[in-house]
Amino acid sequence: MLGVTMFEEEDESLVDAALAGDVFTFIRNCIIANEDFHQEVCALYIIFTETFSRLYCLVTEAQRCEQLAQGCYAAFFLAENRTHNLMIASLMLYH
């Protein structure tokens, strides 16, 4: 586990350089050159892309469900309207 208080003695020169204003050397030597950093970034990237892909699928599925529901509603409305018209027509015939 890395933390500010857990630097080893050879890291003190890097911390001193960062504090002295040479932050880019500190970033290059401690973060970019660190293999664990790249592994963590790759793991987070994979998690992000998987999550984004799942979210995209859910949104797409929700849109399809909405379209299906609208189609069912339209079909029901048309059927109900036809039934209503048939009832009116049959009442007119009997009167």
Please choose, from the candidates 43, 15, 9, 44, the residue with its C-alpha nearest in 3D space to the C-alpha of residue 29.
15
Q: What's the domain range around 88?
A: 9-94
pLDDT digits (tens, 9 = 90+) for 13-41: 777 777 787 777 777 887 778 888 888 88
Strands (E), the chain: none
18 within domain boundaries: yes
CB burial string 22-35: b at 16+ within 10 A, e below: eeeebeeebeeeee
Structure letter (DSSP) for residue 80: H
3 within domain boundaries: no
63 within domain boundaries: yes
Whether this prediction's pTM lies above 0.75 is answered by no
72: its two tokens: 């069912």
Please choose, from the candidates 25, 20, 26, the residue with its C-alpha nearest in 3D space to the C-alpha of residue 4.
26
pLDDT digits (tens, 9 = 90+) for 69-82: 888 888 887 777 77
Domain total in the chain = 1
